Amino acid sequence: MPLPVEVLIIGAGNRGQIYSFFAKDFPERMKVVGVADCRQVARQNLQMKYSVADCNVFDDWRGAAARVKFADAVVIATPDRQHKEPAVAFAEKGYHILLEKPMAVTVDDCKEIVAACMKHNVILSVCHVLRYSPAVVKVKELLSQGVIGEVVHIQHLEPPQGAASRCLNCAVEQSCPYSAKKLYLEGVKNGHKGWPVSTICEGADVDIESVTKALCEGPYGRCVYECDNDVVTHQVVNMEFEGGVTAAFTMVAFTEKLCDRSMTIYGTKGELSSEGQHPVKVFDFLTQTKKEYPLDYSILQQTQLRGHGGADYYLMDSFIQAIAENNPSLIMTGPEETLASHLLVFDAERARRESRIIYCNRTE
C-alpha cells in the first residue's frame, strides 16, 4: 500500500486528537483525510489542523460510513457505548480499524465486532496501549528468555457535612482531597493545560474561563460523593489459569502517582519487577544479585505521542506499519486475543457483582 496511510477519525475528543498527532509528527506515513464528531468545535479543530476537505467532515459517523470508502483506516474514539455500531459498519466497508478500549461494553457486541473484522479480513487493533510500552515489551522479552524460570504462582461514601453539590460553591471544598477546583482550576492557573484539564473543556481553548465554565456546568464539577458514576474506586481480581499459574490484579484510584503501573512476576529462578518508566529489574535467587534492564525512550523526542510512557506512539507506529505492509502480525491486540481478554474482564465483573467464583468458559 502506498504511503501515507489515509485515516478517518471518528470521535475528535481527547483520544481521537492524540492518535491523530501521528500524522503531524510523521506526515510521510499517515494522513488524516476525514473527521466525524457530533460537536462542531471538536470536528472543526481537527479539520483545521489537518486541512481536511469539507466533503469529508461529518457531524455523525453514519454519514462517513454511507460514503464510498475514501480512506485506508478508521480510528474509532467515540464513547465506550458507541463503539460497536461504527466498528461493524466500517469493517463491512473494508476499513482497517484502530478501536479505543474497551472494544464494547457487552459480550455480544465484542463478539460481533470480532466476527465482522474477521469476515471482511480487516486489521483490528484495540488500544490496549500499555502492551506497547517499552517496559511491558521488555518484560515480555525477559520472560521469553527465561530469566526468572517458570512462572509459579465500591464502597459507598457519605458526603462531608456542609458539602454542596458542586465544588466551586462548596463551603468545605478546601478540606476535601477530591476538590475539582484543586484538580482542574488550580492546575490551569499554574499553566498546566494538558491532560486531564484538556479533557473537560468543550472547545479547543483551555483557559481559566473555559475550565470554570466546565466545572460550573459539566459533570467534572460535581461533588464526588454525590455523583452517579458507578465505576469502582478500587478492586482486586484473583485469577487462576490452566496449569496452576495464579495472578492478582489490583486497581486503586487513590494514589500519589497518577497512572503509574507496577508489576511483579515470580518465577522458579527469580523475580522480575517493573514500575512506570523505570528500568525493569530482575533478581536472581541463585546468585542473590539484581540486574537492571534500561528502557530506550529516545524515539519519543520526535513525537507528541508520549502518553502512557510512550505507548501511545508505539501503538500508532505498529498500526500504521501493519497497514502499510499488510502485516497483521505487528498488532499485539488483534481480534481473537482482544476478545479473550474482554471475556475475562466480563467474568471478573460478574464475580464482583455476584460475590462468587466464576469459572470461565463454563455454562452456568
Please check whether residue 7 is in contact with residue 75, taking contact to mean a CB–CB distance below 8 angstroms. Answer: yes
Give pLDDT tens digits for 27-59: 999 999 999 999 998 889 999 999 999 999 999
Q: What is the DSSP letter of 181?
A: I
The CATH code that applies to domain 5-129+308-335 is 3.40.50.720
Who wins on pLDDT, 320 or 233? 320
Residues of the chain within CATH 3.40.50.720 domain(s) are 5-129+308-335
Query: pLDDT at position 341, please?
Result: 92
Query: pLDDT at position 153, please?
Result: 45
Q: How many C-beta neighbours within 10 Å does residue 5 have? A: 22
241-to-48, 152, 265, 344, 347 alpha-carbon distances in Å: 50, 11, 15, 11, 13
Give pLDDT tens digits for 277-306: 899 999 998 888 999 999 988 888 888 888
Rounded-to-integer distance, Cα 348 and Cα 357, Å: 9
Residues of the chain within CATH 3.30.360.10 domain(s) are 134-154+233-297
Query: Which residues, 6 or more positions from 277, have their beta carbon under 8 angstroms from its beta carbon?
Result: 134, 135, 295, 297, 309, 310
Mean pLDDT of 302-317: 86
Please check whether residue 215 is in contact with residue 197, taking contact to mean a CB–CB distance below 8 angstroms. Answer: no
Give pLDDT tens digits for 248-265: 999 888 777 777 789 999
C-alpha cell at 140: 515480555
Which residue type occupies 267? G
Query: pLDDT at position 207, please?
Result: 85
Mapped onto helix, strand or coil, the DSSP state of residue 31 is strand
Query: pLDDT at position 127, please?
Result: 93
Backbone angles phi, psi at 53, to 5 degrees: -65, 145
Residue indicated by cell numbers 515489551: 137
Give pLDDT tens digits for 124-175: 999 998 898 888 999 999 999 988 877 654 345 566 888 888 998 898 888 8
Mean pLDDT of 184-195: 82
Bridge-based pairing of strands 270-275 and 262-266 is antiparallel
Best CA proximity match to 258, nearest among 170, 196, 345: 196
Mean pLDDT of 214-220: 88
Q: What is the DSSP letter of 182?
A: I
237-to-9, 102, 166, 302 alpha-carbon distances in Å: 34, 18, 33, 38
Mapped onto helix, strand or coil, the DSSP state of residue 40 is helix
The CATH code that applies to domain 134-154+233-297 is 3.30.360.10
C-alpha cell at 254: 487513590
